[in-house]
Amino acid sequence: MLDRYADSALLLPRGRLPLNIFEPRYLEMIADAMAGAGMIGMVQPQDPAVYAKVLKPEIYSVGCLGRIVEHAETDDGRILIALEGRMRFRVLQELETTTGYRQVSVSYDEFVNDAASDQSTPGGRDVLIGNLRTFFKRLGVEADWRAVQTAPDEALINSVAMMCPFHGVEKQALLEAPSLSERAIILNTLLELNLAGGDTQAPH
């Protein structure tokens, strides 16, 4: 399990997330995953302020399973991977292990619908894209707006949710949204709040 720093990454089903792995415990985890099914789980710590100060920070109970779909080693010992989100899970308990990384038992029962793409049609697409244009302009970020306009709803909503620099608790709300429509509502609300408050930084 990768207990990622809360403000750095969000993985959603069918989303793709590049990661730079350099901590010894996570290098060990990736090696073990590659020797097996190539799967790891991502869970956010509840309090990012204590992430670097304690070995096992408290984590949220919902995370996302990811499959390693790209893997490359660098000359300085790092590993560059790309994770493809598969399905969310709920943490049941943490396991006692001798590995440097954390391991948990999980249940996928609540999230079986993650196995198939959500074909629902959330409302407010034009408003979302308009807010995203303003948000990116404020950050000085360029985007392929033709690709944005033609992207399927799920790909658009999940990609924006993963790339925008929201705080950990906000990203957790996006992760735990029970449907694509509700995730779209949360995403639009977060964009509007950030635009109103000016609390923005460059996307990850």
Mean pLDDT, to the nearest integer, of 26-38? 96
Query: How much is the pLDDT for 5?
Result: 47
- On whether the CB atoms of residues 94 and 21 are closer than 8 A, the answer is no
Containing structural domain, residue 131: 125-197
- Residues 6 or more apart whose Cβ sits within 8 Å of residue 27: 21, 77, 79
Quick: pLDDT tens for 128-145: 999 999 999 998 989 999
Beta-strand pair 104-107/79-94:
antiparallel
- Residues 6 or more apart whose Cβ sits within 8 Å of residue 154: 14, 117, 118, 119, 180
pTM of the model: 0.88
- On whether the CB atoms of residues 80 and 68 are closer than 8 A, the answer is no
96, 115, 134: which is the final residue of a domain?
A: 115
Which phi and psi (to 5°) does residue 184 adopt?
Answer: -65, -40
Domain contains 95: yes
Quick: pLDDT tens for 53-68: 666 888 999 999 999 9
Q: Give how far Cα 57 sits from Cα of 14, 43, 67, 105, Å.
A: 27, 11, 24, 17
Residues 100 and 146 in one domain: no
20 three-state secondary structure: strand
Residues 84 and 130 in one domain: no
The domain spanning residue 54 has which CATH number?
2.30.130.40
Residues 13 and 90 in one domain: yes
